[in-house]
Amino acid sequence: MNKKVRVQDLGLKDYKETWDYQEQLFQETLDLKIRNRREEMNLETPNHFLFVEHPHVYTLGKSGDISNLLVDEKVLAAKGATFYKINRGGDITYHGPGQIVGYPILDLDNFFTDIHKYLRLLEEMVILTLAEYGIKSERSPGETGVWLDVGTPFARKICAMGVRASRWVTMHGFALNVNANLGYFDMMIPCGIKGKAVTSLNVELGKKEVDLDEVKQKLLKHFQVLFEAEIIEKTEV
């Protein structure tokens, strides 16, 4: 099993360009798995972890409800935002500057073949990272992602998640609000869950800005331990 993971920081990058790049890496891994099976080979499949920030964009998962987007595309355009229907699970979500988006493209055959465990470990990675900033976060029963003050009237989401998997290869991932402009969340019902607020790490800490690179390093540190992974390369594109 290959537990080496290549990490790339794509910086600020268009959503569709990044989605295409994800699809390319995802398909390369799938093709190799199919070839291994067909030709009875045992070539190592790669694992990737992409960090990226996106310009303002709303994405709707395959099981999502378009009515959870509360404005039309003219309003989005006026706000400098775009919209895509995509092939991950989950409902509607927002990405924008100040938010760390992570796309692990892993062959879970290299780690464990359990998609629920995969999601729980991604959540744990975020929970442990936030704990380093003195923020107590947790899971909310039946709601994927990471939350604060679960079970109270003040429950609020700080990290959204939605993944796709085929033949145990993953794509899409998580979006952690670090210095996010929370006003953009007002134009949708986040993840289709009514009456729940959204927050950002800088707001919780009472800071104007939190160092994004520092948060990324903490996320990677916990990812490495939880997945027993070896980071083999860190490249900026």
**CATH classification of the domain holding 170:** 3.30.930.10
Tokens of 18: 């990044």
Q: How far apart are CA 204 and CA 132, in angstroms?
A: 13
Cβ atoms 234, 9 nearer than 8 A: yes
Active site residue 159: no
Among 132, 162, 161, 131, which residue's Cα sits nearest to residue 148? 131
Strands (E), 13-71: 48-53, 57-60
Instruction: Point out the catalytic residue in the list 25, 191, 198, 201.
Output: 191
Tokens of 83: 């919209």
Beta strands 57-60 and 82-85: pairing type? parallel
pLDDT of residue 235: 63
What's the gap between Cα 208 and its chain centre? 23
Total of domains in the chain: 1
Q: What is the DSSP letter of 236?
A: E
Sites in the chain below the pLDDT cut of 50: 237
Q: What angle do CA 206, 212, 215 make, to 5 degrees?
A: 85
pLDDT of residue 192: 54
Residues 213-230 have pLDDT tens digits of 999 999 999 999 999 999
Domain encompassing residue 88: 4-236
Strands (E), the chain: 4-12, 48-53, 57-60, 82-85, 92-95, 99-105, 138-140, 143-148, 156-166, 169-177, 197-198, 230-236
Neighbour count for residue 28 (Cβ, 10 Å): 15
pLDDT of residue 199: 96
Among 87, 93, 52, 50, which residue's Cα sits nearest to residue 187? 93
Tokens of 23: 């699809």
pLDDT of residue 144: 86
Q: How far apart are CA 108 and CA 229, in angstroms?
A: 12
Beta strands 92-95 and 82-85: pairing type? unpaired
Among 143, 102, 108, which residue's Cα sits nearest to residue 122? 102
Q: How far apart are CA 179 and CA 23, in angstroms?
A: 28
Secondary structure class of 166 (helix, strand, coil): strand
Q: How far apart are CA 223 and CA 46, in angstroms?
A: 16
Q: How far apart are CA 147 and CA 150, in angstroms?
A: 6
pLDDT of residue 67: 86
In DSSP terms, 164 is beta-bridged to 171
